[in-house]
Structure formats: structure tokens, C-alpha cells
Amino acid sequence: MTARNTAVAVCLLFVGTLGTSCKRSNSCPSKFADLPASTQATEPIQCTCQSAPAGAAVWGTGTYTTDSSICAAAVHAGAIPASGGNVSMKKAPGCPTYSGTAQNGVTSASWPSYGSSFYFPDKSAGTCSAPAAPAAGMCPGSFLDVPNARATEEFSCTCTGKTASSVWGSGVYTRDSNMCNAAIHAGAIPATGGKITVKASPACDKYTGSTKNGVTTGGWGHYDGSFYISGSGDGKCAP
């Protein structure tokens, strides 16, 4: 999830800035991180989304990592419809954790600590928040949402069934993957749910996506930490 240094030819319209002319489009760049540092410091930042890019990556809910897609995050937050529109956003400090959810047709992913964030002031205060605690015995969204996740080696919980949340890997999964969908993909439980035991495993340099048991997972490069489902894997990274 490392931000790429992408040159973006855009012209942003700022509230309170007058007399600025520009022959370029005021379309939003792909990611907030693509904006120049001087632009990121302006509040609020305004640009236009032509539509929500299909499959664009978003991390967080309400408050998003700055390498998230601006337009997909705006749709997820309810700031614009999927057909596009004008957005107003602000930069915010980084958060110790970001929780993924499915909203307005866009599924965002969870992520651990990240250095900077952005948000849409009409829809959020831009604050960091802890993930909502699941009911006793029920599985949280991802391994990152497990209490004291960094020190946890094994965790048992109950899944209620398949959700719309994302998974990366096959057999061994990134720790921001949805645990219950990963368990269904691994064949540990049916799509209707069941009890699982999740085990921590080391970081892998790559994760291979596949379609199994009605769940399609994505591929990914290096990720700092993995997990696997007890009885349905050995925790070893793919060659």
C-alpha cells in the first residue's frame, strides 16, 4: 500500500482563492497522496470526481489513509453518488488503525498504523476511532481488529457467514483480510458460518489470489504479517 510518486496534471479550486485561472481539468487525482504537499495543506481542497473507479483501493471508514482512492472513498463516505460529483476534503493526522466496511456499494479495507489521513468534512470529523467491538465470541472483521493483535498468536471466534469484505491471499492471508471470508475460502467453514481458530504467521513477500468455495481473493505483494485458519493451512508463504 505504498504511495507511488505519480505526476498528476490537475487544477484544484480552493475555497477563498480568487483570480486563479487554469486551463487544466479540476478532476480529482487518483489518490490524496498524489496532491502536492502545498495543496494538501489547503483547507478545504475541492475537486471533481467523474465517477467512482471500479475496484479502486480504499482503507478506512470516515477517515481514510492518504493512499486511498479519493473518488472511491467519497462514494464510500456518502459524499457523492457513484456517478460522481464535486468533493470537498481535508487532510488529517495518521491513525493507529483503520477499519474497513462496506458502504454505498464500495468496500474499504482495514489497515494498521498509517502516517496521514484525509476525510470529507460534510460526512466525518476526521478523527481516529477504534473498531467496534463484536458481540462476545463473534469474529471481528480482520486479524488487525483482534484485541492486542500484535501479540496474539491464536484466536478463536464464531463467524455468522459470508460478507462483502475483502481478502488477499490463498491459504495464508494478509492480516487486513476479512477472517470469516478467508475461512470460507480456505474451506474451514461453509458460507453460512461457524467457529474458527485463526493463527498468526510471519510476513510474506507475495500473496496469490484465487477463487474457492464462492470467495474470490486478491493478490498482493509484501505485507507485514499473515494469518491462516487452523486445520486448513500451515502458515507457509507461497513460493
Res 19: pLDDT: 34
Report whether pLDDT(129) > 80.
no
Give domain limits for the chain: 13-119, 143-229
8-17, 62-71, 219-228: least confidently modelled range: 8-17
Res 118: pLDDT: 98
Q: Which CATH class is domain 143-229?
A: mainly beta
CATH number of 13-119: 2.170.130.20
Query: CATH topology of 13-119 equal to that of 143-229?
Result: yes
Q: What is the mean pLDDT of residues 125-129?
A: 89
**Grid cell of 179 as nine digits:** 477472517
More confident residue, 213 or 41: 213
Confidence band (pLDDT; 50, 70, 90) for 132? low
Res 150: pLDDT: 83
Q: What is the mean pLDDT of residues 65-70?
A: 96
Residue 101 CA neighbour count, 13 Å, CB half:
16
Please, are residues 235 and 226 in contact by the beta-carbon 8 Å criterion? yes
**Model confidence pLDDT, tens digit, residues 151-166:** 899 999 999 999 878 8
Alpha carbon distance 130, 120 (integer Å): 19
Res 45: pLDDT: 95
Alpha carbon distance 90, 98 (integer Å): 17
Report whether pLDDT(219) > 50.
yes
Q: Which of 95, 63, 92, 94 is nearest to 76 (CA)?
A: 63
